[in-house]
Amino acid sequence: MTAAEETTVSAVIPAYNEEKTIEAVVKGALSHVDEVLVVDDGSTDDTARIAEEAGAKVLRQQNAGVLKATELGLREATCDIIVTLDADGQHDPSEIPSLIEPILRGGADLVMGIRPELPYLSERILTSLTSIRVPIGDASTGFRAVRREIAREMSLHGACLCGTFVLEAHRHGARVAGVPISIKEREGERRIQTRHLRQFFTVLWDVLRV
């Protein structure tokens, strides 16, 4: 058995009121990883129950946002590589093998899934700002893979994870890479990214101090 074959993978899925999509996401991820952790961010629907019945370990927290949900998932994940993906069905779990491949071959410690296009102007601005320090095609994607030892060193901060996740991993010595991913349309309207205005100043500070 090769080192790559011995490497284990966790999937962390922050979720808030995603009962329509969570089952498919969990089952899809379980085909490619060793454990799935769904962090239920205070959902008021059946997200947690459905995720558990689909085979996920469910962690519960009061509604605190995706940053805190991701932080909890990274802390509780037990495998060598941790993949994060969204619960709304936009990310294709079948692309997990290509996402983790740069880590398995020893070429990266953090891999960001690069979307075909960034839907918000604020995401494009944050990616450009982040790239001043760490060149990356998408600093706002929620589909990423990171070595557990890097994740455990990180202290997530800011209004969200856009830009800051990449910059903090880089500060802890991570080699950062990107791979193309596909995106499916989420059900319902996109959530307005009002937090990106606050995040701009956090990313700017991180760029200046890295």
pLDDT at 151: 98
Q: Which of helix, strand or coil describes residue 119?
A: coil
Q: What is the CATH number of the domain that holds 116?
A: 3.90.550.10
pLDDT of residue 193: 66
Task: Give the domain extent around 133.
Answer: 3-209
What mean pLDDT comes out for the span 92-103? 98
Q: Could you give the angle at which helices 164-171 and 195-209 cross, rounded to 10 degrees? A: 20
Residue 97 scores a pLDDT above 70:
yes
Total tally of structural domains belonging to the chain = 1
More confident residue, 69 or 3: 69
Q: Is the pLDDT of residue 194 over 90?
A: no
Give me the pLDDT at residue 38, please.
98
* pLDDT band at residue 190 under the 50/70/90 scheme: low
pLDDT for res 191: 56
Give Dmax over CA atoms of the chain in angstroms: 48
- Read off the pLDDT of residues 16-49 as tens digits, 9 standing for 90 and up: 999 999 999 999 999 999 999 999 999 999 999 9
Return the pLDDT at 158. Answer: 96
Going from the C-alpha of 133 to that of each of 20, 100, 147, 176, the distances in angstroms are 39, 23, 20, 11
